[in-house]
């Protein structure tokens, strides 16, 4: 176990200096910022984990705040930090951190987290990952919170900071060590040739980036990870469309070749490709959406619908009908808008199913069939781990996949419920 003396030796300073820095009182006595940074770097490198309970007992306090940190990789794979995507459009499925709370899916998750945290007697604080707020968040973590819940892929220095804090951390869809890669398929932007009719789009392996053995050990032993069961989501959508009689299937939502891809959508695309490989007598392919920092998921869904009409002649009556699986509900909303614009009947021409079940889905015309992601269960799995650790229970960190369910509405009911 790393001690203050170990850190002092590694940093070349006194134990008193280390104590002052780690207790955030160094500036009060004039310890230079460079020295403070050197001490903190040594603490991280040695994986120092302070005894939070003992410290709080000495100080006569226990923070009641649980910190929620969002680092949302948008659907186009644009940067996770707030500086790369400044849109506040709530219809944008790629909100960055500026539109996180306005986005219907993430707003519902946030409310579910807040409800679950309040039931424990704590309250939820919120920080969005930015390019310039790591240090201020580290001070917040050290001084004012008892546990942390994250959303999305955090930059490595943020994971290092949380690891060094010693706090219980539950992560929603963190994908640690994830490396993006492109998915083959059909491109509405026209940069790739269209596969022959009936050709199945195939997936690829996506190996993780190289990280230190210490980082992997912490992710496996201490980071409680909660994910959506994306394999189940795509399987339910495919099975539903086949049950309804659709014999041509498209997955809508992967970006152009060479663009980064949201790992959630990458999982859904890869799951579709695996299922497509096993289908007999069914045409199945991926339609890739042109990545753009300034276009919402709804816009991309409209572009995909326009492309389908332009490249397959699917306008007006469509024979045989086509089943479309959107990687999320907002993309599906865009597809429905394109269907109306081109007078494609839904579900008689296109059967459209989304993934999320945001509140907007039921109010579409026609109401949108979708795969419901249980936001309450995502939230409770994260909050339960953190609060049990705070209560002294040695709850083991796990990697969980939350199951999903099919919600049938009129956008796919070609053969009836």
Write the pLDDT tens digit of every residue in 350-405: 999 999 999 999 999 999 999 999 999 999 999 999 999 988 888 789 999 999 99
Query: 124 with 145, same domain?
Result: yes
Spell out the residues 6+ positions from residue 301 whose beta carbon is closer than 8 angstroms to its own. 252, 326, 330, 331, 332, 333, 334, 335, 336, 337, 338
**Each residue's pLDDT tens digit, 283-311:** 888 887 665 556 788 988 999 999 888 87
Query: 218 with 255, same domain?
Result: no
SS percent in the chain: helix, strand, coil, step 5: 40, 15, 45
**Each residue's pLDDT tens digit, 169-220:** 999 999 887 643 434 444 443 333 233 223 333 333 333 344 555 666 777 7
Percent of all residues in the chain with a pLDDT value above 70, rounded to a whole number: 74
Query: 355 with 323, same domain?
Result: yes
Query: 215 with 356, same domain?
Result: no
Query: 270 with 367, same domain?
Result: yes
**Each residue's pLDDT tens digit, 248-296:** 999 998 655 444 567 888 899 999 999 999 888 888 888 876 655 567 8
Query: 247 with 307, same domain?
Result: yes
210: number of Cβ within 10 Å: 9
Domains of the chain: total: 3
Please tell me the distance from the alpha carbon of residue 399 to that of residue 227, in angstroms, as a whole number: 8
Phi and psi for 100 in degrees, rounded to 5? -55, -50
* 416 assigned to some structural domain: no
The CATH number linked to 117 is 3.40.50.2300
* 186 assigned to some structural domain: no
* 192 assigned to some structural domain: no
Peptide bond connecting 320 to the previous residue in cis, omega within 30 degrees of 0:
yes
Query: 369 with 398, same domain?
Result: no
Query: 22 with 86, same domain?
Result: no
* 194 assigned to some structural domain: no
Query: 144 with 236, same domain?
Result: no
Query: 288 with 158, same domain?
Result: no
* 211 assigned to some structural domain: yes
For the four alpha carbons of 318, 324, 329 and 330, in that order, the dihedral sign comes to: negative
Whole domain around residue 291: which residue ranges? Answer: 230-373
* 347 assigned to some structural domain: yes
Query: 133 with 250, same domain?
Result: no
* 359 assigned to some structural domain: yes
Reply yes or no on whether the pLDDT at 101 is more than 80: no
Query: 106 with 147, same domain?
Result: yes
Peptide bond connecting 9 to the previous residue in cis, omega within 30 degrees of 0:
no
Reply yes or no on whether the pLDDT at 118 is more than 50: yes
């Amino acid at each position: 176990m790393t001690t203050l003396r170990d850190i002092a030796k590694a940093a070349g300073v006194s134990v008193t200096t280390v104590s002052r820095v780690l207790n955030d009182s160094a500036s009060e006595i004039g310890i230079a910022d460079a020295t403070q940074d050197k001490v903190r770097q040594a603490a991280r490198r040695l994986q120092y984990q302070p005894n939070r309970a003992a410290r709080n007992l000495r100080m006569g306090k226990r923070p009641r705040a649980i910190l929620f940190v969002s680092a949302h990789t948008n659907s186009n794979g644009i940067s996770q930090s707030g500086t790369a995507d400044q849109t506040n459009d709530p219809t944008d499925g790629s909100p960055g951190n500026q539109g996180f709370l306005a986005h219907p899916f993430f707003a519902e998750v946030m409310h579910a987290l807040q409800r679950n945290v309040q039931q424990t007697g704590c309250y939820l604080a919120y920080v969005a990952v930015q390019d310039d707020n790591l240090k201020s968040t580290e001070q917040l973590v050290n001084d004012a919170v008892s546990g942390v819940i994250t959303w999305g892929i955090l930059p490595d220095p943020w994971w290092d900071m949380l690891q060094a804090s010693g706090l219980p951390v539950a992560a929603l869809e963190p994908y640690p060590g994830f490396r993006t890669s492109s998915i083959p398929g059909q491109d509405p932007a026209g940069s790739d040739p269209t596969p022959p009719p009936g050709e199945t789009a195939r997936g690829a392996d996506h190996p993780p980036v190289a990280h230190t053995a210490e980082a992997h050990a912490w992710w496996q032993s201490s980071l409680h990870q909660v994910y959506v069961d994306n394999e189940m989501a795509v399987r339910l959508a495919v099975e539903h469309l086949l049950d309804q009689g659709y014999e041509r299937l498209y997955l809508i939502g992967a970006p152009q070749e060479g663009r980064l891809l949201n790992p959630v959508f990458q999982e859904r695309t890869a799951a579709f490709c695996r299922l497509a490989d096993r289908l007999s007598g069914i045409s199945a392919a991926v339609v890739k959406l042109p990545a753009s920092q300034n276009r919402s998921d709804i816009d991309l869904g409209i572009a995909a619908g326009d492309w389908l009409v332009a490249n397959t002649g699917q306008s007006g009556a469509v024979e045989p009908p086509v089943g479309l699986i959107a990687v999320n509900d907002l993309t599906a909303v865009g597809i429905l808008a394109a269907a109306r614009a081109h007078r494609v009947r839904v579900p008689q021409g296109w059967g459209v199913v989304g993934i999320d079940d945001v509140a907007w889905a039921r109010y579409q015309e026609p109401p949108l069939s979708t795969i419901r992601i249980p936001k309450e269960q995502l939230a409770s799995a994260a909050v339960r781990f953190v609060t049990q650790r705070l209560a002294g229970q040695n709850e083991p960190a796990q990697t969980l996949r939350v199951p999903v369910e099919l919600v049938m509405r009129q956008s796919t009911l070609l053969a009836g419920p």
